[in-house]
Structure 1
Amino acid sequence: MTALQLPDIAPSGHIVVGVDTHKHIHVAAVVDTTAGLRSTLSVTADRDGFEKLLAWARSFGRILAFGVEGTGSYGAALTSFIRRHDTLVIEVSRPNRRLRRLNGKSDTLDAENAARAVLSRTATAIPKVTDGTAEMVRQLKVAYDTAVKARTAAMVTLKAMLVHAPDDVRASAEAKTPLALAHKFSRLRPSLLENTTDSIKHTLRSLSRRWISLDEEAGALNKMIYDLVQEAVPQLVESYGISTHTAAEILIVVGDNPERIKSEAALAKLAGISPIPASSGMTSGRYRINRGGHRQLNAAIYRAAIVRMRGHEPTKVYVARRTAEGKTKRDIVRCLKRYIIREVYRLLRYGPKVAEYAT
């Protein structure tokens, strides 16, 4: 008795291309909507490779979409290239660990899984545009954050080294701001390197000059970020409690195509602010805190909520009312974060003419 075999199915001519991206090569798989996997290809991660990939994919029929892993990292250049050729790109997450343990892992399998995720509508996210103002802000903010971190480290080290300085040097540093300390010690003129007094003065001068250099660098970068944010989303900065860097975090996450985020609930989930259902068995209506989402954006919205709780009169009234109802401060902050993200979504989609959230 022979086993039954499924008959061959003719290709429909409508395909989805899945791409597993890497630093130097990309691996692609073409999946037909009816005939399944048609072929795979490896290309170099440069313009020549992208053109070869697109021509190869078109030879199998009409491309419905590309499913690309790592659209914000190794797949960013490919995503921009495909978009410029008027083809839909869907962002695909890595397969979960359970599936990888069951089915194994290889670049071709990952590429095929990416295409099937798009076909099954498991993956539906539209990736951010990475060649506009939002990407410019992201790049500058990376440089700014690292400069600020290094500046802080320089000042912490300087103050630690002051412990070993002579008494007169330590006394002259008391009650001075970091800026005043740095300028004071940057003007030190130590003599020859003959003892520890000379070496500590050299050390303090070096650390002070480093701090001043990093402070000037951070200031210049901050000005660039401010100008870009004011040009792109001035309505966010005008909102109470949302600073330039909070608006920058929002812009970085949303990107230059905010229409890809379909609702304020989707933005809340993206920021890790929306609660997650946690019902099971005999329990229902239970939720837990969302520990996922973009944590930098979550922290930025938290800071905005704290600022409003301290100085925004409508928010103060809201906090007093919720406190009288028995809510804890932590619960109130969570509610405020949800209100703020809703306001942010409306400002991004509809402009500054939106109602105050604390009513």
Structure 2
Amino acid sequence: MVVLIGADVHKNSHTFVAVDAAGKQIGQITVRATHSGHEKAYRWARKSFIEQDRRWGLEDCRHLTSLLERDLLAHGEPVVRVPAKLMARQRATARTRGKSDPIDALAVARAMAREEDLPAAFTDEQAREIKLVLDRREDLVAERTRVINRLRWHLHELDPEVDPAPRALTHRPAQERVREVIEAGAGIVAEIAGMNLTDLERLCSLIGELDARLRAMVRKQEPVLLEIPGCAELSAAKIIAETAGIERFATESKFAMFAGCAPIPVWSGKTEGRVRLNRGGNRQLNCAIHRIAITQTRLEGPGKEYYERLRAKGKTVMEALRCLKNQIARRI
């Protein structure tokens, strides 16, 4: 007998509901979202279902479940990730009305019983390290953009004829020219502009250090990704971070669906073969693959040839680009 344990996770607490293969609830517990709370849930499951095979299901929101996943996997427990859309459908068909932590945990468990081919949780510490560094870099880039916008407004007030391009301000020559303009000015506006410029120089330096670190990490972990035309280190880092272990995907088509690159069939009768854009999947991963596809359409090689063949057959620019993205996802 297999016992399915669904979890509804929050920042401070986790609620677990166990069901049998038919979906009947046979147990429930709520614990704190800490190492000791996770250990308590594991001991409860081991004591309550000692003679049954256990399988844990967690809603796929890894900012809340990553610690729980690692603790359960450390005990050798099988864990799968349940997409949130499956929970919503299960709640809609349930006889229990309303919404609560036990209801949501029960929905996760019953979704596990209904869907046998859910992705297994996979702990990839190297991918996690890359994601942490990449997230830090993206935070700094966003802050740099805000600093540049503020600096350009102050420069406009100091001298309307000084209008450097935003991208140019990320480079040292443009920063030095701006500093000359600021030092020639006077007053509080020039003083604040100088502070913004100092912040900009600091952020550019930090971002450069993280770029170098990411390049080294990608070359060490997955150099094969760099062999894909149009895939540079930062795109490869995004792919590694968002994939979180390519081994957890049974087939290339499942990875393409996860990345939002596989088309969705929308045909019936005479419209056989018609598909539509997939707006689901991991949009961060989809964006990285999109950048690679755009680059391949500009470079001589198989990608551009494939794209041009599709265009010659009558497909629109976006249709041909989506087909190319699907091929790139399958190669990854």
Q: Cα gap change, 1:321/1:38 in structure 2, threshold over 3 Å: closer, same or farther?
A: closer
Match of 2:189 in 1: 200
Q: Is the 8 A contact 1:187 1:205 kept in 2?
A: no
Once the 2 structures are TM-superposed, how far is the Cα of residue 314 of structure 1 from its aligned partner? 3.2
- Range 177-186 or range 329-338, more displaced: 177-186
Match of 2:289 in 1: 301
Q: Deviations over 1:293-314 (max 9, x none)?
A: 1112112111111111112233
Q: Cα gap change, 1:18/1:183 in structure 2, threshold over 3 Å: closer, same or farther?
A: same
What is the letter of the counterpart of residue 69 of structure 2? T
- Range 34-43 or range 151-160, more displaced: 34-43
Match of 2:137 in 1: 144
Match of 1:156 in 2: 149
Q: Cα gap change, 1:332/1:282 in structure 2, threshold over 3 Å: closer, same or farther?
A: closer
Pairing of 1:232-247 with structure 2 (within 5 A) = 232-247=221-236
More helix by share: 2
Q: Secondary structure of 1:117's partner?
A: helix
Match of 2:217 in 1: 228
Once the 2 structures are TM-superposed, how far is the Cα of residue 134 of structure 1 from its aligned partner? 0.8
Q: Distance in 2 between matches of 1:33 and 1:269?
A: 27
Q: Deviations over 1:200-251 (max 9, x none)?
A: 2112211111110110111111112111111111010132100111111211
Q: Distance in 1 between matches of 2:229 and 2:119?
A: 31
What is the letter of the counterpart of residue 69 of structure 1? E
Q: Deviations over 1:235-276 (max 9, x none)?
A: 1013210011111121122213x2211111111111111111
Q: Does 1:99 align with 2:77?
A: no
TM-score scaled by length of structure 2: 0.88
Q: Deviations over 1:274-305 (max 9, x none)?
A: 11111346644321110111112112111111
Q: Is the 8 A contact 1:190 1:198 kept in 2?
A: no
What is the letter of the counterpart of residue 24 of structure 1? N
Q: Cα gap change, 1:112/1:166 in structure 2, threshold over 3 Å: closer, same or farther?
A: closer
Q: Distance in 2 between matches of 1:111 and 1:16?
A: 11
Q: Cα gap change, 1:218/1:53 in structure 2, threshold over 3 Å: closer, same or farther?
A: same
Once the 2 structures are TM-superposed, how far is the Cα of residue 48 of structure 1 from its aligned partner? 1.2
Q: Distance in 1 between matches of 2:237 and 2:175?
A: 29
Once the 2 structures are TM-superposed, how far is the Cα of residue 92 of structure 1 from its aligned partner? 1.9
Match of 2:324 in 1: 336
Q: Does 1:275 align with 2:275?
A: no
Q: Distance in 1 between matches of 2:109 and 2:62?
A: 18
Q: Percent identity?
A: 28
Q: Is the 8 A contact 2:152 2:163 kept in 1?
A: no
Residue-pair matches, total: 324
Q: 1:85 aligns with which of 54, 68, 75?
A: 75
Match of 1:351 in 2: none
Once the 2 structures are TM-superposed, how far is the Cα of residue 162 of structure 1 from its aligned partner? 1.6
Q: Deviations over 1:145-170 (max 9, x none)?
A: 11112212222222222221147xx5
Q: Secondary structure of 2:62's partner?
A: coil
Q: Secondary structure of 1:75's partner?
A: helix
Q: RMSD of the TM alignment (CA)?
A: 2.8
Q: Is the 8 A contact 2:6 2:17 kept in 1?
A: yes
